Structure 1
Amino acid sequence: MNKSNEKMTRYRWLICSMLFFATTVNYLDRQVLSLLQPMLEEEFHWTDNDYGTITAIFSLFYAVSMLFAGRFVDRIGTKKGYAWSIAVWSLGAGLHAVCGVVTERWTGLENAEALRLAQGADIVSQIAVVSVTAFIVCRCVLALGEAGNFPAAIKATAEYFPKKDRAFATGIFNSGANVGAIVAPLTVPLMAELWGWEAAFVIVGLIGFVWLGLWTFVYRKPEENTRMNEAERAYIEQDAAPDAARTDGSAVPDEAGKLSFLQCLRYRQTWAFAFGKFMTDGVWWFFLFWTPAYLKAQYDMVGTQIALPIAVLYTITVAGSVFGGKFPTYFIDRGMNPYAGRMRAMFIIALFPLVVLLAQPLGYMGYWVPILLISVGASAHQAWSANIFSTVGDMFPKQAIATITGIGGMAGGLGSVFIQKGAGALFTYSDETNLVFMGFEGKPAGYAIAFIFCAVAYIVAWCVMRTLVPKYEPISDL
């Protein structure tokens, strides 16, 4: 058979589907806490500041872990790096279930009901401190594992897709974040009501171990994969030459482990990617962690009441993730290089979150109005995310992608630290002082301030990125 006429296999899409399901599990694990926050708040006597502390420390530990996770994945390879990552985060997810027992043993109280009914400043304070500490420890284990998801997924995408398809593939697997965020509100509150909140953490942790078994069986490097043919392999490697040679024609050694962080920071391309992540990652996490709390504060909704609006919100965001990743091809197919086309698309995408400015002013019309406006902002974030990740593959060779992705992930995590802790402190302060802003009082005033930041963050990020890297400048001197 003439291999030039051989019909191309589609194994790369099986890999993409595995990345999709891993990201779904990733966000399912991550969102359980936010959905159970109203229930946990009552049982453990948390304030918004306490919850903000938990999410902020998670973000901080995630940020630091991202820096090393990317390097770890580059050193040991995509398959092993991803396997270790999901094993650790699934273990961390399950560990949350013991936080209640730890708090009961430490405080000497018999059960959850005793914790909930406890009175007196000293015992209430002790319950809050012990439980917050226990959840922080579990969140740190979760963060350590979850930090490897995107460096490994972006590296796998670079290994299995040519540059022109990477944003689309990234958009598809990144839409798993939306699916996880859809599935979570439809299942987690129900599991908590039927079997207790502890069961929700255990069940989602077990799902990760199921994926781990499948990944071990499915993943092979393209050059070692006997389940794909030469036609597909040639398609994947169609633009391998820029990754394989320097501008002087000499080969680039496959020595990702010897690329130091300081060397990475020499490049404006690294700083552009990192700043874009710093400004915008926290917005997504704010929507993820605080929307259930917002519905409770603004509309007195709890438990299964929030399931439908949250599910609708993240259903809409699937469109942003998938079609946002495909959007730059409109410009690329018309002659733009991948980076220029991506930046053009990202500017247009950055305009959509501005509708979040109307979330509070129009909130009097009912909770569906802010939910739909937030869903536009969240959808735009996913479109932005698919493209900003792909700028790394546009400009850096494959052996550096996970390391650079890790640096950007750390920057995004640090940005989220400020937003999560700042939001918790802001909402507690606005509630205690009855803050007035734009005609809103108390917590609604705090949310109005937070939504302003979420709306403008993308425009600011795009302007700085474009200033740092105004045109396509691939790195070829590593």
Structure 2
Amino acid sequence: MTNYRWTICLMLFIATTINYMDRQVLSLTWKDFIAPEFNWTDANYGTIAGFFSILYSISMLFVGKFVDKIGTKKGYLWAIGIWSVGACLHTFCGIVTAGISTGTWAFTFEGAREAIEAAETAGTVIWSVSTVSIWLFLAARSILAVGESGNFPCAIKVTAEYFPKKDRAFATSVFNAGAQLGALLAPFTIPVIARYMGWEMSFLIIGALGFFWMGFWVRMYETPSKQKKVNKAELEYIEQDRLSEASETSKPATEEKKEKGISLWKCFTFRQTWAVIFGRCLPDGVWWFFLFWAPAYVKDVYGYSSDSTMGMLLIFTLYLISMLSIIGGYLPTVFITRLGMNPFAGRMRAMFIFSLFPLLGLFAQPLGNISCWFPIIIIGIIGAAHQSWSANTYTVVSDMFPKSAVATVTGIGGMAGGIGSLLFNQGSGILFTYSKETNMSFMGFEGIHAGYMIVFLIASVAYLFSWIMIKILVPKYKIIEI
């Protein structure tokens, strides 16, 4: 049997790595490089992160249907092409800000910085540098959000095409580990590029990676039945679920019939869809909070900049620990194959286990008074639990819905995750600015420390609450029939 399905999984892994590196550039550069230049506050950054999240979520609602319609090959090309363009456009926000706010158009990055500094010193700024820069970054983030929203609907649909149900959670956890690898590479590359070449080049260099991936995808991807590198034995392994169902009903399964689609609004009438929504909303908000705010947390609470050796080591350690999610992705396979559980029951048992680990977040801030390594390790464990949880939430979709609707429902789940991210990021930005200005107190913590304690408290119980809601909505395994 050939194993070309794992080559395709590797392509998904690389795409997800690029996806998260593009997403991380802003979080690793804004506090130390961009904010001083444009006078941003935490609330300003929270607005940008929140706007990205809500546009990402809205796009997810429709991109899944788009991918189901045009197919994964073309869909993935569109997605990564758009987000790579959006990532590269961030590069020119400084130049355009200088031109609009000062009336002086410089065509080099350093010239733009000098124009802004000179205008602010002389008091000749036409438009607020902060306001103009925020709007330009919002525009670039909009394009990035629309493109990035296609990654997971495409990847989950490809996984459903290339893997049987019992292997999908593990395959998903493998390609989903690209998120952690992207986050691991980011702190050792992006701040260094920003320090020595300017923050603009960090967006340009990382953004260009997607265009290289597109060239390989065009040559390497075809559906399993059309892929010459997939032999008969591997194709039978991939299609074992369909063949088994056909055997049970005594119907021939020589060819895969085209399945009926499900309209976007019809999907919302199923309890299974709402289970996916609850499984993604709060948990994704927690993950995106750590993704967007971890560098700022290290700087605000412990004073380490993103380009300092200690700052890079802390962020690297956080995401290195989160790589343990690959093991977590294999856990449902153990329950399914060794205990004979159906796919949904196996995943729900695994997800309950994963929902308990984030409770460690309740101790992150108190232990941080002893050493900064304690909260970093705890956040890393929560990250590993999240990615394990996420891999199974994605796979639950392909368990309960026909392939023709997988990308659509995955998109709906992504929309829910984006809304959760909006609430976490926008709310956190406002909370942190307020906590600094008022020196608020909460559970023995003051100022920004109190703000982070509140967020850790919410993040810690989010997964257990979500698991309970999924269990209420779908107490037993039931496949959608159309």
Query: Would you say the 8 A contact 2:76–2:150 is kept in 1?
Result: yes
| Structure 1 match to 2:345 | 340
| Structure 1 match to 2:101 | 107
Query: Would you say the 8 A contact 2:101–2:126 is kept in 1?
Result: no
Cα deviation digits, residues 382-406 of structure 1 (max 9, x gap): 0100111110111111111000000
- 1:29-108 correspondence to structure 2 within 5 Å: 29-38=22-31, 39-108=33-102
* Uncovered stretches (5+) of structure 1, i.e. residues with no partner: 1-7
C-alpha distance in 1 between matches for 2:122 and 2:45? 21
| DSSP 3-state at the match of 1:204 | helix
Moved more, 385-394 or 364-373: 364-373
C-alpha distance in 2 between matches for 1:12 and 1:294? 39
- 1:123-162 correspondence to structure 2 within 5 Å: 123=125, 126-162=128-164
Query: Would you say the 8 A contact 2:436–2:448 is kept in 1?
Result: yes
Cα deviation digits, residues 41-100 of structure 1 (max 9, x gap): 111100100000000000000000001110111000010000110000001000000000
2:389 pairs with one of 375, 380, 384 = 384
| Structure 2 match to 1:399 | 404
C-alpha distance in 2 between matches for 1:53 and 1:46? 11
Residues 336 and 116 of structure 1: is their aligned pair in 2 closer, same or farther, counting only changes over 3 Å? farther
C-alpha distance in 2 between matches for 1:415 and 1:120? 43
Shift of the alpha carbon at 1:185?
0.5
The question of 1:286 aligning with 2:289 is answered yes
Shift of the alpha carbon at 1:312?
1.1
Query: Would you say the 8 A contact 1:21–1:176 is kept in 2?
Result: yes
Cα deviation digits, residues 404-441 of structure 1 (max 9, x gap): 00011001101111111000000011111111001111
2:375 pairs with one of 370, 384, 387 = 370
C-alpha distance in 1 between matches for 2:121 and 2:249? 71
C-alpha distance in 2 between matches for 1:57 and 1:120? 33
1:420 pairs with one of 412, 417, 425 = 425
Query: Would you say the 8 A contact 1:87–1:209 is kept in 2?
Result: yes
| DSSP 3-state at the match of 1:361 | helix
| Structure 1 match to 2:198 | 196
Cα deviation digits, residues 100-152 of structure 1 (max 9, x gap): 01110011166314535736999598111101100010001000000000000
1:265 pairs with one of 265, 268, 271 = 268
C-alpha distance in 1 between matches for 2:257 and 2:153? 20
C-alpha distance in 1 between matches for 2:169 and 2:117? 48
Shift of the alpha carbon at 1:254?
3.1
1:304 pairs with one of 298, 304, 307 = 307
| Structure 2 match to 1:3 | none
Once the two structures are aligned, what percentage of the paired residues are identical?
53
Shift of the alpha carbon at 1:250?
12
| Structure 2 match to 1:5 | none
Query: Would you say the 8 A contact 1:65–1:410 is kept in 2?
Result: yes
| DSSP 3-state at the match of 1:474 | coil
C-alpha distance in 1 between matches for 2:263 and 2:220? 31
C-alpha distance in 2 between matches for 1:115 and 1:366? 40
Query: Would you say the 8 A contact 1:178–1:318 is kept in 2?
Result: yes
1:328 pairs with one of 332, 339, 352 = 332
- 1:138-287 correspondence to structure 2 within 5 Å: 138-241=140-243, 254=258, 258-287=261-290
Query: Would you say the 8 A contact 2:56–2:148 is kept in 1?
Result: yes
Residues 270 and 128 of structure 1: is their aligned pair in 2 closer, same or farther, counting only changes over 3 Å? same
Query: Would you say the 8 A contact 2:295–2:306 is kept in 1?
Result: no
Residues 414 and 98 of structure 1: is their aligned pair in 2 closer, same or farther, counting only changes over 3 Å? same
**Structure 2: which amino acid aligns with 1:11?**
Y
Residues 151 and 247 of structure 1: is their aligned pair in 2 closer, same or farther, counting only changes over 3 Å? farther
Query: Would you say the 8 A contact 2:299–2:306 is kept in 1?
Result: no
Shift of the alpha carbon at 1:245?
11
C-alpha distance in 1 between matches for 2:264 and 2:341? 31
TM-score by length of 2: 0.93
- 1:434-473 correspondence to structure 2 within 5 Å: 434-473=439-478
**Structure 2: which amino acid aligns with 1:301?**
Y
TM-score by length of 1: 0.94
C-alpha distance in 2 between matches for 1:227 and 1:401? 25
Shift of the alpha carbon at 1:316?
1.1
Shift of the alpha carbon at 1:360?
0.7
C-alpha distance in 2 between matches for 1:241 and 1:377? 39
| C-alpha RMSD of the superposition | 2.1
Cα deviation digits, residues 283-305 of structure 1 (max 9, x gap): 10000000111111101111322
Query: Would you say the 8 A contact 1:96–1:201 is kept in 2?
Result: yes
C-alpha distance in 1 between matches for 2:124 and 2:182? 39
| Structure 2 match to 1:4 | none
C-alpha distance in 2 between matches for 1:123 and 1:409? 41
Shift of the alpha carbon at 1:246?
12
**Structure 2: which amino acid aligns with 1:204?**
I
Residues 308 and 260 of structure 1: is their aligned pair in 2 closer, same or farther, counting only changes over 3 Å? same
**Structure 2: which amino acid aligns with 1:198?**
E
The question of 1:24 aligning with 2:17 is answered yes
